[in-house]
Structure 1
């Protein structure tokens, strides 16, 4: 099988990611005369990718990979990546000589082609590879024992050596497939043996493959050194089955690697720890990718917030102009209808802009700000019911109060919560049944319930119902007349949590849909120290 590294001019063809420790391959499209993409071929690769290509025999053309034992990445998916620009992340499996390697393949559009990063596999794949590695480790031990026992005859000795070489080769490939640095700590002598693929021992080379634990400790980042070392000591002295820690580890070139370190203890017949075996996974590229995604998300949210703020001025001008037009056209019914339609549309736009600004505050400012003061929740409920009854004259809203309803909250924000929940119930509930709003006292909590009969919310949607830009599938059913961005329930949850409370939903064919809001009596104390768990609703 011809490897990619055999391509002429590959090494200098691409430089942006040449120094990255993660394997990266640049693919360019192969087009038909009409311009359609038929395939992708390797245009360049960094030094880390050369080892992967050589060891696993990857072909230059992407369409040839399945025949070479590679599964998980299709040409059609890469064509779609080039058309949409949406990054692609798939598990990639490579099989050679009976040994599997697994990667998390992340493809990002680069010019007309794409850059393919071969990152460590997700935890499920990594666990399977570690189990393979442990089996190969045991095979190597058996081969070593067979070699010792076979010295009586030359034939047996040669056969044992061949078996050992085969086990060593499988072990090397399995170790490389895990993308981990493996370590074996003898607690009696204090010696630690490190095993890794060439160039993967964080740049220290084979001379440092055996040393004391102090060699590791001094290379842990100073901010995390004491916690990591203390956690390891506590684990050895405990009866726990496994140890795990995340920290930064100093590479040979002076840079820091983010690592996930895990280990298990072996004990003697008396239960005393005698040996610890573990692995260090380099998570640096994954951390960088997450940081880039987080920064992009923050930028988008800042942009949306600025856009929403700047839209308010022209929207106010539209609303004022519509009111002026309505006043001047008091005797012209057509003009009156047009002006009212403009005002209603502007009001809906204003609600959307307010939702966008609340989303930005919740994501970028640590939560929605509150103006806390003594409030009678009965008054707030009645105000919301009156407003929605005027907007939905054909529907009936039943309101019931049980016990006290006074506390310290933000009245405007709670009116926003009730308007969203009751408005959703009017919109999505059965059109011939009333919406029920209850305000109840439960111990130290004030509880609000909004119930509507009708088709239940599908069970898979309940887990993500309060996420931003989510709407139930019934939102566009016959008779529905409202529209929005899908931010209402997200903002409800943010407002309630800012008060130190909780909101939950239950939905069934028999009982309909019920949203339950639980609020502490005094939001000031709850925000200072939330020590009591809110009830999950009636």
Structure 2
């Protein structure tokens, strides 16, 4: 910034003096030239400082996002992966002496489930890092199409789920390429945490002025207040943290898309998650 200002001052002095030297009212013009230099210098300094401030703000936001993701990853390593590994080791001991296992426990199946969960966590963590690195590379995403695909996959994996969808034929937004994954994660989360035999999920795709979004409503037990506070604040603490990485992945993708995430509990049962995004200019 200092070099730009120095170059501007040198060019001004070198060119302006030679231009006004032979003009009448030389002293008056020199005074006016001085005031003009002050005005232009002030504008230049303002522009340079504003540019530096904007860059500093972006860097601060990226740092906060990185710190939040680091906190999540630390919790995953400390809690999720450690617990899964402990369970695998415990069930492996039961396989060695299957007669000691309870009649309702299949150690091999239990080991497979925990191992699959470790693979899922690993994939989610890898995607969380990818989202951070690819932030700013937005593409056109059709929300209606993304929701339709996510619902189709959900119904194939969970035939017992009842899903209703209200959506326009097409609704395009400018978002991170992984946005469809975040919508699928929201639907999957609504079913996985359901506490009834026939979970119900309603998905609404909507637009309001220059904002578009997706709202997912379920009839489950509702997200705990501690998890909701952690997700909305963007940071975890020992008393306020999430139980998995899925919703953190959703938040990271939504943030990278320039959107916002809202979570509410409108009644004793159920959760409403709303993803709001800027619409693509027509």
Query: Could you tell me the TM-score, scaled by structure 1's length?
Result: 0.29
The CA RMSD measured in Å over matched residues stands at: 3.9
**What SS does structure 2 have at the residue aligned with 1:519?**
strand
Q: Which has the higher helix share?
A: 2
Give the aligned partner of residue 164 of structure 2. 398
The offset of 1:511, in angstroms, is: 6.7
Secondary structure of the equivalent of 2:220? Answer: coil
Partner of 1:519: 277
Which structure has more relative contact order (CA 8 Å, sep 6+)? It is 2
Distance in 2 (CA, whole Å) between partners of 1:469 and 1:358 is 19
In 1, the alpha carbon distance for the partners of 2:274 and 2:193 equals 17
Determine which structure has the larger strand proportion and give its number: 1
CA distance in 1, matches of 2:161, 2:262: 25
- The residue that corresponds to 1:378 in the other structure is 144
How far apart, in 1, do the equivalents of 2:158 and 2:125 lie? 25
Q: Trace 1:101-116 onto structure 2 (pairs within 5 A).
A: none
Structure-2 separation of matches of 1:463 and 1:410: 24
Paired residue secondary structure (2:207): strand
Q: 1:414 to 1:458 in 2, by over 3 A?
A: same
Q: Structure 1's 391 and 403: CA in aligned 2 closer, same or farther, altered over 3 A?
A: closer
SS in 2 for 1:398: strand
Q: Which residue of 1 aligns with 2:185?
A: 420
2:124 paired residue among 340, 355, 360: 355
Cα distance between partner residues in 2 of 1:464 and 1:392? 28
SS at match of 1:447: strand
**Size of the alignment, in residue pairs?**
178
Structure 1 residue 505 and structure 2 residue 274: aligned? no
Distance 1:371 1:360, change over 3 A: closer
Preserved CA contact (<8 Å) 2:204 2:214: yes
Structure 2: how far apart are the matches of 1:515 and 1:354?
23
Post-superposition Cα deviations, 1:135-159, rounded to whole Å, max 9, x if no partner, equal xxxxxxxxxxxxxxxxxxxxxxxxx
2:200 counterpart (434, 449, 466): 434
Please say if residues 434 and 452 of structure 1, whose CA atoms lie closer than 8 Å, have aligned partners that are also in contact.
yes
Q: 1:462 aligns with which of 204, 208, 228?
A: 228
Question: What displacement does 1:457 show?
Answer: 3.1
Do 1:368 and 1:495's aligned partners in 2 also have CA atoms closer than 8 Å?
no
Instruction: Pick one of 131, 135, 149 that aligns with 1:369.
Output: 135
| Residues 468/427 of structure 1: CA separation in 2 closer, same or farther (3 Å cut) | farther
Seen in structure 2, the aligned counterparts of structure 1 residues 397 and 368 have a Cα distance that, compared at 3 Å, is: farther
Alignment map for 1:238-249 (pairs within 5 Å)? none
Q: Give the 5 Å matches for 1:124-135.
A: none
Larger radius of gyration: 1
Equivalent pair of 2:146/2:180 in contact (CA under 8 Å): yes
Structure 2 matches for 1:263-274, cutoff 5 A?
Answer: none
Cα contact 2:261–2:276 (8 A) shared by 1: yes
Answer yes or no: is 1:491 the counterpart of 2:260. Answer: no
Aligned partner of residue 167 in structure 2, secondary structure: strand
Partners of 1:358 and 1:368 within 8 A in 2 = no
Question: Normalized against structure 2, the TM-score is what?
Answer: 0.51
**In 2: Cα distance, 1:389 partner to 1:517 partner:** 21
Give 5+ residue unaligned stretches, structure 2.
1-63, 78-107
The 1:429/1:380 distance shift into structure 2, 3 A limit, reads same
Indicate conservation of the 8 Å contact 1:368/1:494, yes or no. no
The answer on whether the counterparts of 2:135 and 2:176 sit within 8 Å (CA) in structure 1 is: no
> Does the CA contact (< 8 Å) of 2:163 and 2:202 recur in 1?
yes
CA contact (8 A) 1:430 1:452 kept: no
Structure 1 gaps of 5+ residues are 1-293, 308-337, 474-483, 526-538
List aligned pairs for 1:46-445, cutoff 5 A: 348-360=117-129, 368-369=134-135, 371-402=137-168, 404-411=170-177, 413-431=178-196, 432-445=198-211
